[in-house]
Structure 1
Amino acid sequence: MKMDIFPLLFRVALLAVSVLGQTTDVEELARMNADFATRLYSKIASSSDDNVAVSTLGATLALATLAAGAGGASRTELLQGIGVASMEKEGEPERIQTLLKQLRVTTAQIQATALFVKQDVKANDTFSNQVKQFYNADVQNVNYANGELAKESIDNYVRTKTGEKVKDVVKNVDPKSIAMLISATFFTGYWLKPFNITFTQEDRFFVNKYNIVQVPMMLHSGKYYLAYDPILKVGILKLPCEDGIAMLVLLPDEDVDYTHVDESMTGEVFRGWVAKLKKTKLEVQLPRFSLKQSNSLSVSLPSLGIREIFGSTADLSGISSDESLKLSEVVQKVTMEVDENGGSVSDASTNLFTSPLPPRLTFNRPFIFIVYHEATKSILYIGRVVDPTKN
């Protein structure tokens, strides 16, 4: 469908939020962190031709946890890397931690963050208490010499912390590891305008011109916010969720490679898309999909300016007095389930056959999604669906 179905109706008013009296600061923090979110996604996406799922806020909170125990260049790189260094103020040593905690609580995602250190490393109580307070993160000792036992310890922690929603975080553990930073998140879209499962039917999805798969294609008719980016040639659909969360679904034009959108995404571009959204009546067809992905962030972070923590000069003295402490690995596991479920039964039962049919927008080729908190514009997840039949 041509993207000229996106009429210019009106500009969305920016939502106001009061987060413990720190609205402006939290929104500014989210704005600065958005560039890290898009850069991290672009880096991970560039290394794969398949589906991608990244919890950008989860990665931010994990790295901020580490920054709480880092010093010198190690701490500077971490805060600059996630884009929040300029939020520091003299005389307010816990300002960034406080703002990130407000953001974490406000966005209310299921997540687990933990630093797993080898058995003979004793973590400082001050550090352990601080990261628990601000990030709900834990410090755990594991026996890395026994790789299977270490893997089991990590997986058990994550399963318990996420209520069995996220499993199998790490495939294997290097027995020479000293410390692993683990982030795990789970997202389920509870639509404000749910899809009616009785309208879901098998349809074609064009992975590429040589590969066509059959997928369960969900359908809903209603009023949606849409936009079109004429520079990147991509249509933008907003799917509102409960708890002030929304998902932007990006559909590149048929002659546009989705990797071009991946590479062009920035925090400013994202905010521009949100500002251009206009309401119109539309039928939406979106494939049901489920993503379960583990990413080794230690592969991506150095290219984003976060290198010091992986080297022999890493300063993690705030975590432990053990001078040999350095980070061996950063792993993130993301689990997403996107289906018909929502919170409005009346919306879900809309009868498509007794009302005039509006234009239809069908996501039947690779698309990109961004999950964000509407009030603060904090990016929570970014992903790409190339083949909905694969996890």
Structure 2
Amino acid sequence: MGPAWLWLLGAGILASLHRQRLPAHAEKSLGVPQAPSEQLPEPAPTYHKVTHTITRFALRLYKHLAAETPGNIFFSPVSIATTLALLSLGAQADAPTQILEALGFNLTETPEAAVHQGFQSLIHTLDLPSPKLELKVGNSLFLDKQLKPQQHFLDDIRELYRAFAFSANFTDSATTGRQINDYVRKQTYGLVTDCLQGFTQDTLMVLLNYIFFKAKWKQPFHRYQTQKQESFFVDERTSLHVPMMHQKEMHRFLYDQEAACTVLQIEYSGNALALLILPDPGKMQHVEAALQPETLRKWDQRLFLSLLDLHLPRVSISGAYNLEEILPHMGLTNIFNLEADLSGITGQLNKTISRVSHKAVLDMSERGTKAGAASGLLSQPRPLNATTALQAHFSRPFLVLLWDVTTQSLLFLGKVVNPAAG
């Protein structure tokens, strides 16, 4: 069989501004797991100003989602963080500070300009061509044809985020919505379709980010070794019969007794890897509570190479979230109220963000893994051991973290509760 592939995709925050319906009387350094067999080039220092903060933001957001989501979780922190940071370029007053601080940046240590330079370096580096790793990142801005965007804003987003502006006719919201979704589908090679919803005649702007990733497994799975019907225990009372992939290969691996989990690192050809975390039975919440950047550093230092008898289910999951209810609990509030000042984009006041949507999809099989994410800020009128193979049997819920090693970027993060959900 051919080598396995990994497709990762994120079409990240859709930011959509709408006319406000006003009353009549008022118009630190995180050590990401490193691929041990490759000598990595010395990374450009500027993207390190943002990648570790994005990881911390990802873990914080994950815990909020886990508290409200009993099932599968999957999202792209790079996609969400990039578009929020881009949006901050068009915010005025104290909104830029609040957006960046909500992402976790200490603007005393890393000034606003340095943050944007860090994202600029990250996008540039992720987008560099590679013979073994296909990674594509982009940002686009769709503005209603009646608006005249601020030239300095267009210059900044083009220089820092490689974002280009397009004119759109949101009066015909159905047609324009289909056109934007078709744009996403083409940019993501058909992986994300009809993912951005909520367009109306009041829509004035859509801010879009996408990320596409494709790589081969370094140690491929083979379909003939897959057991078609093995038990996967969703919880103590529920089990499913799912296809379970199998291989005996050398991988970096450890068991953390304190955290009560097994940690496995699987490499891809090129500078990419997956970190899979399998809690002991009944210990998922314990592991989630222990999930900190410091924990990831500890695991990276202690992972050891071992022959592993690995059983991993095929995975098909998705996650769809309205983050406007979660982000205020993480410090992001001003862009959701009527006093939000986003006039740096168009020069007009009374624009605000009322919805932040994000959707992500993960499919993992012998031939590869496909992952897609679409996230959006939609602004709408709101109502007021080496000799014997060690066993690693992923037959119960586990966490998955997908990394770009060169930039130490956490591209996707999720929890697989039901691998066949979708």
Q: Tell me the TM-score range normalised by the shorter chain.
A: 0.7 to 0.9
Q: Tell me the equivalent position of 1:73.
A: 94
Distance, in Å, in 1 between the alignment partners of 2:122 and 2:176 is 31
SS in 1 for 2:351: coil
**Residue 49 of structure 2 contacts residue 118 of structure 2 at CA under 8 Å; is this kept in 1?**
no
The C-alpha deviation readout for 1:100-137, integer Å capped at 9, x for no partner, is: 12222333444454444445332223322332333233
Q: Tell me the equivalent position of 2:78.
A: 57
Listed as ranges, the gaps of 5+ residues in structure 1 are 1-10, 343-355
1:217 to 232, 244, 250: 244
AA aligned to 1:286 is: L
Q: Tell me the equivalent position of 1:350.
A: none
In the superposition, the TM-score normalised over structure 2's length comes to: 0.77
Alignment of 1:1-391 (within 5 A): 17-19=41-43, 22-23=44-45, 25-86=46-107, 94-108=113-127, 109-144=135-170, 146-173=172-199, 175-188=201-214, 190-202=216-228, 203-256=230-283, 258-341=284-367, 358-391=389-422
Q: Percent identity?
A: 26
In 2 relative to 1, CA 312–42 (structure 1 residues): closer, same or farther, beyond 3 Å? same
Could you say which structure has the higher strand fraction? 2
Distance, in Å, in 2 between the alignment partners of 1:45 and 1:112 is 28
Distance, in Å, in 2 between the alignment partners of 1:84 and 1:227 is 32
1:147 deviates by: 4.7
1:26 deviates by: 2.7
In 2 relative to 1, CA 248–46 (structure 1 residues): closer, same or farther, beyond 3 Å? same
AA aligned to 2:334 is: E
Aligned length: 363
AA aligned to 2:83 is: A
1:289 deviates by: 1.3
The C-alpha deviation readout for 1:59-103, integer Å capped at 9, x for no partner, is: 11111111122233110011112223438767xx74322321222
SS in 2 for 1:243: coil
AA aligned to 2:365 is: D
Distance, in Å, in 2 between the alignment partners of 1:331 and 1:373 is 24
**Residue 339 of structure 2 contacts residue 350 of structure 2 at CA under 8 Å; is this kept in 1?**
no
**Residue 185 of structure 1 contacts residue 333 of structure 1 at CA under 8 Å; is this kept in 2?**
no
AA aligned to 1:155 is: N
Q: CA RMSD in A?
A: 2.9
Q: Tell me the equivalent position of 1:5.
A: none
Which is further off, 303-312 or 178-187?
A: 178-187
Listed as ranges, the gaps of 5+ residues in structure 2 are 1-33, 128-134, 369-386
Distance, in Å, in 1 between the alignment partners of 2:172 and 2:301 is 52
Q: Tell me the equivalent position of 2:18.
A: none
**Residue 125 of structure 2 contacts residue 407 of structure 2 at CA under 8 Å; is this kept in 1?**
no
In 2 relative to 1, CA 39–179 (structure 1 residues): closer, same or farther, beyond 3 Å? farther
In the superposition, the TM-score normalised over structure 1's length comes to: 0.82
In 2 relative to 1, CA 131–307 (structure 1 residues): closer, same or farther, beyond 3 Å? same
**Residue 265 of structure 2 contacts residue 274 of structure 2 at CA under 8 Å; is this kept in 1?**
yes
In 2 relative to 1, CA 317–308 (structure 1 residues): closer, same or farther, beyond 3 Å? same
Distance, in Å, in 2 between the alignment partners of 1:182 and 1:205 is 37
SS in 2 for 1:167: coil
Distance, in Å, in 2 between the alignment partners of 1:119 and 1:327 is 19
1:161 deviates by: 2.0
Which is further off, 109-118 or 219-228?
A: 109-118
**Residue 123 of structure 2 contacts residue 137 of structure 2 at CA under 8 Å; is this kept in 1?**
no
Distance, in Å, in 1 between the alignment partners of 2:245 and 2:278 is 16
**Residue 181 of structure 1 contacts residue 327 of structure 1 at CA under 8 Å; is this kept in 2?**
no
**Residue 81 of structure 2 contacts residue 103 of structure 2 at CA under 8 Å; is this kept in 1?**
yes
**Residue 154 of structure 2 contacts residue 165 of structure 2 at CA under 8 Å; is this kept in 1?**
yes
The C-alpha deviation readout for 1:165-194, integer Å capped at 9, x for no partner, is: 211213443554454544444445531111
